[in-house]
Amino acid sequence: MGVTKGLMALPEVALAMLQGGAKGLADSRLENLRRLKEGGLRTTRLLLRVPRLSRVTEVVELADLSLNSEVAVIKALDQVSQSRKRKHGVILMVDLGDLREGVWPDDLGSVLKEIKQLRWAQVVGLGANFACYGGVLPTPDKMERLLSLKKEAEKILDRPIPILSAGNSSSLSFLLRRQIPFGLTQLRVGEGILLGRESTRREPIPSTFQDAFVVVAEVIELKRKPSIPVGEIGLDAFGRTPQFEDRGLRKRAILAIGRQDVVPEGLLPLDRGVRILGASSDHMVIDVTDLNRSLAVGDELSFLPNYAALLAAVTSPYVSEVIVGEKEEGRRNQKVAASFTM
Ligand SMILES: *Cc1c(COP(=O)(O)O)cnc(C)c1O
């Protein structure tokens, strides 16, 4: 499943995921699933965040499948499904130690018995999540555990469970090393597709691009200033005590981008000789002393975002998205699917 939440389900990117071979699209937000539905992409839609009891009607309307962990919610989904005459597939999450969503394995049997009789919101899969809250890695023994829980669940339900949803981009390294055990049928991949990195060690995935998204910001001030603030030091705009290194007089630029637009710590300058010094809500201060090209007020600088920075940029109302075709992007002579400009 191609996970579209990193781009608020931007239709062009969702379509590219399907063209690239994803069997369906998944998102954590109902708003994004609606965007996919109204965009006319005909494919299976999966809701990633366990549904709110207060929103089950929309879940049935917008998603074919959802990840679940609460009996009350699954029963409510079943009622709505029945009244709408629209079946809904439940992927029951088991918590294999990451301590985010999921039924604890000891409780799987009793949960299944409670929902076994439901006809409209039926359990069609078992799933697990890794490396999200607890940073727990999807190791081979966790995968085997998932497989054995599936067998146990099939016995209790007395029917086969077609989907075994084995995690997110952090499980990709298994797939690439061909260590994924037979029987796991689904991965839910966002970062791996969008940024070309498996997410546990952030290593590039062979044959993918790491620069499909570029954050572009404009220089609004360019001056030589000392590298240490002058005066008594208190807390910065975000309540932290800032640290400084004395590097003498430096050429500094301010960019029109800040914490309302991105996660500054998640940006990697595309130019050598650019160092990010810090950022407040609307300003990012960078050191450009070592940049070996001329820079003027009004020029733009580009950065590669990590997943957190991409997510922040896409969801910020202050950032506009520009999709750049392969041909137009001659500058770096690399494939650029989309970029974000301030
Ligand atoms: C976001 C999310 C994913 C995708 O994670 P990536 O690391 O981007 O691949 C998968 N599963 C769930 C439940 C998610 O919330």
Reported residue count of the chain is 342
Q: 130: which residues sit within 8 A by CB, 6+ positions away? A: 96, 98, 136, 137, 138, 142, 167, 168, 170, 171
59 vs 74: CA distance, rounded Å: 11
Q: What are phi and psi of 6, to 5 degrees?
A: -65, -15
Mean pLDDT of the chain: 92
Question: Cα–Cα–Cα angle for 210, 21, 121, nearest 5°?
Answer: 115
pTM for this structure? 0.90
Atom of ligand 1 nearest to the CA of 170: 7
Summarised one tens digit per residue, pLDDT across range 53-89 is 999 999 999 999 999 999 999 999 999 999 999 999 9
CATH topology of domain 2-194: TIM Barrel (3.20.20)
Return the half-sphere exposure (C-beta side, CA atoms, 13 A cut-off) of residue 322.
12
Confidence of residue 338 (pLDDT cuts 50, 70, 90): very low
Half-sphere exposure (Cβ direction) of 83: Cα atoms closer than 13 Å: 9
For ligand 1, whether the C-beta of 168 sits within 6 Å is yes
Q: Where in the chain is the domain with CATH 2.40.37?
A: 213-341
- Distance between first and last Cα of the chain: 31
C-beta 4 within 6 A of ligand 1: no
The one-letter amino acid code at 279 reads A
Under DSSP, the state recorded for 51 is P
Ranges of beta strands (E only) in the chain are 2-3, 24-27, 44-47, 65-68, 88-93, 121-127, 163-165, 213-226, 249-255, 267-269, 275-279, 284-287, 300-305, 320-322, 338-341
Pocket test for ligand 1, best of 46, 188, 213 (most atoms within 8 A of CB): 188
Q: Is 80 exceeded by the pLDDT of residue 326? A: no
CB distance 288 to ligand 1 below 6 Å: no
Quote the pLDDT of residue 304: 96
Average pLDDT over residues 255-282: 96
> Does the domain made of 213-341 have the CATH classification 2.40.37?
yes
> Counting atoms of ligand 1 from 1, which one is nearest the CA of 191?
8
| CB 32 near ligand 1, within 6 Å | no
The CA 47 to ligand 1 mean position distance, Å, reads: 11
Q: Is 169 in the pocket of ligand 1 (CB under 6 A)?
A: yes
Does residue 28's CB lie within 6 angstroms of at least one atom of ligand 1?
A: yes
Mean pLDDT of 122-149: 90
The residue whose CB lies within 8 Å of the most ligand 1 atoms, and thus the one to mutate among 48, 171, 201, is 48
Distance 290 CA to ligand 1 centre (A): 38
Which atom, in ligand 1's list, is nearest to the CA of 131? 7
Q: Cβ distance 100 to 80 under 8 Å?
A: no
Per-residue pLDDT tens over the stretch 228-254: 888 888 888 888 888 888 999 999 999
Residues of the chain with CATH 3.20.20.10: 2-194
- What is the greatest pairwise CA distance in the chain? 74
Taking residues 134-153, report their average pLDDT.
91
Ligand 1 pocket check for 208: Cβ under 6 Å: no
Answer yes or no: is the C-beta of 5 below 6 A from any ligand 1 atom.
yes
> Nearest Cα to 92, choosing from 22, 163, 171?
163
The CB of 192 under 6 Å from ligand 1? The reply is yes
Q: Which of 117, 40, 125, 120 is nearest to 91 (CA)?
A: 125
Find, among 173, 163, 109, 183, the residue nearest to 138 by Cα: 173
What residues pair up with 320 in beta bridges, in sequence order? 341
Residue nearest to atom 7 of ligand 1 (CA): 169
